Amino acid sequence: MYREGTWVSAEVILQSLDYFGIVVFAMAGALRGEEKSLDLFGVLVFSIVTATGGGTLRDLLMGNLPVNWVKDNAYIWLALAGGTFTFMFTRFWRFPVGALAVADAIGLAVFTVLGADQAAHMGFSPLIVIVTAVMTGCVGGVIRDLLANEIPLIFHREIYATAAIVGAVVYLVLQAWGLDERVFPWLAMLVVLMLRLAALRWDLRLPRFMRTLPRA
């Protein structure tokens, strides 16, 4: 959906969603920093890392260097804005966690499909499209959790990453069916969003790893 001249308004909407995802992920990162009692600098680093980590790893592995936020400074500015706002806001008001979870789900949906889209346009195989989509959507949060010295949340709240996987598969299937490229990315995004919101609403989970035998 990046093709020039196909549907300008779609590109504008998409870019807006991308920036929206950056801001939302930055806010989620800042809130994690708050839980860890970090100072302003630490909070802003958490914001930047959470917002840009997925896209950065994607660009590194694909060889798209310099990485995206070096070329388009808006990514860093928006992450700083989201982090600073959250830093100020939480000093005086309680943060609407429910609203943030919904916004975070939108960010996940957008980043996942943007990642799938980029890998697909570079001609990579379906497997790599899926891996790239999941990385773009989830790795920012993983690095944030590592910096916070915790086992990354996505290994526990598993429908997070699973929603990204399903969304990438839907993207590939709709593309294979020959749907209009101005339409199917939005459907894939909607699938990720719906899955993630359903998981939040009804607390859905994947099976855990269990032994039926006692340890040796």
Please, what is the minimum distance in Å from the beta carbon of residue 61 to a copy of itself? Answer: 5
Q: How far apart are CA 155 and CA 128, in angstroms?
A: 20
Residue 180 in the binding site for a copy of itself (CB under 8 A) = no
Do the beta carbons of residue 171 and residue 209 sit within 8 Å?
Answer: no
Which residues within the stretch 71-90 sit at the binding site for a copy of itself (CB under 8 A)?
A: 73, 76-77, 87, 90
Binder of a copy of itself out of 12, 13, 60, 99 (CB under 8 A) = 60
Binder of a copy of itself out of 91, 178, 202, 203 (CB under 8 A) = 91
Residue 8 in the binding site for a copy of itself (CB under 8 A) = no
Q: Which of 122, 126, 144 is nearest to 34 (CA)?
A: 144
Q: How far apart are CA 67 and CA 69, in angstroms?
A: 6
- Chain-centre distance of CA 153, in angstroms? 13
| CA 132-203-117 angle, 5° bins | 20
Q: Which of 9, 50, 58 is nearest to 30 (CA)?
A: 50
Residue 151 in the binding site for a copy of itself (CB under 8 A) = yes
Q: DSSP string spanning 153-172? A: GGGTSTHHHHHHHHHHHHHH
Binder of a copy of itself out of 13, 40, 99, 183 (CB under 8 A) = 40
Residue 187 in the binding site for a copy of itself (CB under 8 A) = no
Per CB under 8 A, residues contacting a copy of itself are 33-34, 36-43, 45, 56, 60-63, 65-67, 70, 73, 76-77, 87, 90-94, 97, 124-125, 127-128, 131, 142, 146-152, 154-156, 158, 161-162, 165, 205-213, 216
